Amino acid sequence: MAILDVLNYPDERLRRPSRPVEAIDERLHGLIEDMLETMYSEQGIGLAAPQINHHLRLLVMDTSDSRDQPLALVNPEITEAQGEQEGEEGCLSLPGIYETVARAAQITVCFQDREGFQREEAFSGLPARCIQHEIDHLDGKLFVDYLSKLKRDRLRKKLEKEKRLQATSA
Ligand code: K1U
Ligand code: ZN
């Protein structure tokens, strides 16, 4: 198992759409284990493959308080979405940035599990939010894309300032 580097915004590789997973084999199982280890070590509740520069339709998550209920969703597709919920989101590719985003409140997701079985499951609350955030990553979309231009401009300035400070202290 290994802890992998997470790409940071505004890295253009985060904008690349991911391709479907074709084979659920030992290699994919190794990638899933590495992604889970990376997610737990970064204290995340989810991680999408493109964030670690693997442009595959694969996400892992664990929204349990006990941090012992890992899930891997291969080729996930939202087949139904209902209602709306506003909630705070963070992103391991934008450390320290938290913003409120509106998402569907309940979703039904079709996916393959890590054994390759086709499943369809309903999610609500934080798991539903997390899956929508991660599927956005698979499509090259980031939660900051939902913010107003004013908020995005403020965020860009904040990140540029942080980069300048890092460069002067190095
Ligand atoms: O995909 C990622 O970058 C991981 C991200 C997932 C996520 C968090 C919150 C809402 C939707 C999706 C994180 O795990 S960020 C860190 C985190 O654990 C967190 C941040 C805010 C609220 C809850 C958890
Ligand atoms: Zn994210």
pLDDT tens per residue across all 170 residues of the chain: 899 999 999 999 999 999 999 999 999 999 999 999 999 999 999 999 999 999 999 999 999 999 999 999 999 999 999 999 999 999 999 999 999 999 999 999 999 999 999 999 999 999 999 999 999 999 999 999 999 999 999 988 988 898 899 888 87
**Largest Cα–Cα separation, the chain:** 52
In order of 46, 102, 109, 163, the CA distances from 42 in angstroms are 10, 24, 26, 21
* pTM of this structure: 0.96
For residue 134, indicate whether it is catalytic. Answer: yes
Answer yes or no: is the C-beta of 136 below 6 A from any ligand 1 atom: no
- Report how far ligand 2's centroid is from the alpha carbon of 17 (Å): 14
